[in-house]
Amino acid sequence: MTPMLRIALKEIRTDFRDRKTFFLLLGFPLLLILILGTALSGSFDSESGAVLKPQVLVQDASGGDKPLAEAFAAFRRQAETNGVVFTDASGTADGTAEVEAGRYDSFVRLTPSGMEVHGSTRHPIESNIAQGMLQAFADRYNAAAAIGAQRPQALQSAFSASESAGGYVQERSIDENRKPGSMDYYALAMTVAVALWGALSSVRLVAGERAQGTAARLMAAPVRKSDIFAGKVLGNVVVNSVCILAVVLLSKWAFGAYWGDNLPLALALLLTVVLLATSLGLFFSYLLQGKSAGGVVMLLVQLAAFFGGAYFPVSTKAADASLLNLWSPVYWANSSLSRLVYEGQIAPALQTMALNLGLALLLLAASAWHMNKKEEL
């Protein structure tokens, strides 16, 4: 085993034996996800809780068109299960006047030549919902009528629920982009923040050796500085990555948080945040030697978490973000991760990964230069 791997293994064993590491990087974030996700669930409701129930007035003037009446009756039963309220009108009622008066959101009139639909301008949302459903029914009925006119024997198979039946009509639906609930949001945001908390442990990678008096022994050992440096960085990255993986899996399985369909890329993005955190803490440990380095890194990490949306929701759109949000590494990763999970956008995640890696390499290079310039660690 090479000296670099021996040093990395020593760092891993030391950190895993430290209970504070597990509490800071594993227990504490899971506790925060549970508390914030449960306590602030009401702030993620997009509506006040009221469910829209379109009111539709129906007038049957089909004149004995039995197929249309039967098809509309089946559609009506299905639509009522989705919250649409239908009311039958008398044969002489003026449905358009009822809609214009605001008593109904839409008016449907079944005629021998088809179906007439009148919408309301007073209640555009409810009216659009009802008209969209009625338009879907009309398209389906027209398709059935066309198939029945050409090949009546194929009409049943055309609307078979099984696609393997070779039907002419196959239904597809596109759901609205999934929106995060409180548990979903804080699982992502808090995990990103915890990944950056790794900077607090990396501050002690070299400072801890000096404090324990083992720095001189390392320098006297037949080990190159580069092996010491690389081993400590590798060990810290492995420990923090394992903790982040545990937080992701436990939040997904224990709390039911949604992590999307591209979990490997999400984990790769979090890994770049871990590497950035390690390089950031190591850089400040050389830049600000002494106890002040830990305090400065703690302040920077907490500010990044605060403005990055770890404790309260922030918009994932750059146009809606403030300058302080845009300067937060937690915001970069949280925004890109949210767009990856809920919108399936890979490009922002790749851009953030490249930014994190670039900054991490720059900080590691600066730290290595500081180490080589000194005679000690």
From residue 264, alpha-carbon distances to 26, 42, 269, 346 in Å are 20, 31, 9, 12
| Both structure tokens of 7 | 């040093």
| Both structure tokens of 149 | 């006119």
Backbone angles phi, psi at 108, to 5 degrees: -115, 130
Distance separating alpha carbons of residues 196 and 331, to the nearest angstrom: 11
Backbone angles phi, psi at 166, to 5 degrees: 75, 30
Taking residue 170's Cβ as centre, other Cβ atoms within 10 Å add up to 13
- Is-contact 62 108, C-beta < 8 A? no
47 secondary structure, DSSP code: S
Chunked in runs of 10, what are the mean pLDDT values of the chain (377 residues)?
85 81 77 82 52 79 72 83 82 77 84 80 76 81 71 55 41 52 88 90 79 74 83 91 92 89 94 94 83 84 88 70 81 91 90 95 90 72
- Is-contact 158 144, C-beta < 8 A? yes
pLDDT at 120: 77
Backbone angles phi, psi at 60, to 5 degrees: -95, 100
